[in-house]
Amino acid sequence: IHFILLFSRQGKLRLQKWYTTLPDKEKKKIIREIVQLILSRNQKTCSFVDWKDLKLVYKRYASLYFCCAIEDQDNELLTLEVVHRYVELLDRYFGNVCELDIIFNFEKAYFILDEFIIGGEVQETSKKSAVKAIEDSDMLQETVEEYMNKPAF
């Protein structure tokens, strides 16, 4: 996977994860292009689009579009499953996740993604394990008191 984008139906970006290095300007251009491309496709079309030398796999869940860019030799149908799994993880963590959850807790969305995918490849195929890791990490986060009292360095 080269990158993952989450955006709303109005084209607002909710999450961007890049697994390749690109200049900022380039990223912005790509985002604009892809958002426009996908939003212009109607219901009847399939979930795959050829784009430059990559394949875009996208799926809409409620008001959010999930889009992954994969290489030529990657399995498109499996990527759909990857996207679905991510949504399931979010759902498990937040409990009936909706777009607002992702907006207000974007950093958690990133943490969850990072427990599921590293460097563009899936690292954990068990839903239970992935969510457990996040929850355990959350526990490690200090409470306000602890935070104030702990020395920084």
Partner 1 sequence: MPAPIRLRELIRTIRTARTQAEEREMIQKECAAIRSSFREEDNTYRCRNVAKLLYMHMLGYPAHFGQLECLKLIASQKFTDKRIGYLGAMLLLDERQDVHLLMTNCIKNDLNHSTQYVQGLALCTLGCMGSSEMCRDLAGEVEKLLKTSNSYLRKKAALCAVHVIRKVPELMEMFLPATKNLLNEKNHGVLHTSVVLLTEMCERSPDMLAHFRKVRQLSSSQLVPQLVRILKNLIMSGYSPEHDVSGISDPFLQVRILRLLRILGRNDDDSSEAMNDILAQVATNTETSKNVGNAILYETVLTIMDIKSESGLRVLAINILGRFLLNNDKNIRYVALTSLLKTVQTDHNAVQRHRSTIVDCLKDLDVSIKRRAMELSFALVNGNNVRGMMKELLYFLDSCEPEFKADCASGIFLAAEKYAPSKRWHIDTIMRVLTTAGSYVRDDAVPNLIQLITNSVEMHAYTVQRLYKAILGDYSQQPLVQVASWCIGEYGDLLVSGQCEEEEPIQVTEDEVLDILESVLISNMSASVTRGYALTAIMKLSTRFTCTVNRIKKVVSIYGSSIDVELQQRAVEYNALFKKYDHMRPALLERMPVMEKVTTNGPTEIVQTNGETEPAVLETKPPPSGLQPASQANDLLDLLGGSDITPVIPTAPASKPASAGGELLDLLGDLNLTGSPVSAPAPQIAQPPFLLDGLSSQPLFNDIAAGIPSITAYNKNGLKIDFTFERSNTNPSVTVITIQASNSTELDMTDFVFQAAVPKTFQLQLLSPSSSVIPAFNSGTITQVIKVLNPQKQQLRMRIKLTYNHKGSAMQDLAEVNNFPAQSWQ
Helix, coil or strand: residue 4: strand
3-state secondary structure 82-151: HHHHHHHHHHHHHCCCCHHHHHHCHHHHHHHHHHHEECCEECCCCHHHHHHHHHHHHHHCCCHHHHHHCC
> If binding is defined by CB under 8 A, does position 145 make contact with partner 1?
no
> If binding is defined by CB under 8 A, does position 75 make contact with partner 1?
yes
Residues 82-101 contacting partner 1, CB under 8 A: 82, 85
Q: Which of residues 8, 37, 39, 47 is near partner 1 by CB under 8 A?
A: 47
| Gyration radius (Cα) of the chain, Å | 17
* Other beta carbons within 10 Å of 62: 11
> If binding is defined by CB under 8 A, does position 51 make contact with partner 1?
no
- Judged by CB under 8 A, which stretch of 61-69, 91-99, 102-110 contacts partner 1? 102-110
Positions in the binding site for partner 1 (CB under 8 A)? 13-16, 18-19, 21, 23, 28, 44-50, 73, 75-78, 80-82, 85, 103-104, 106-107, 110-111, 114, 118-119, 121-129, 133, 136-137, 140-142, 147-148, 150-153
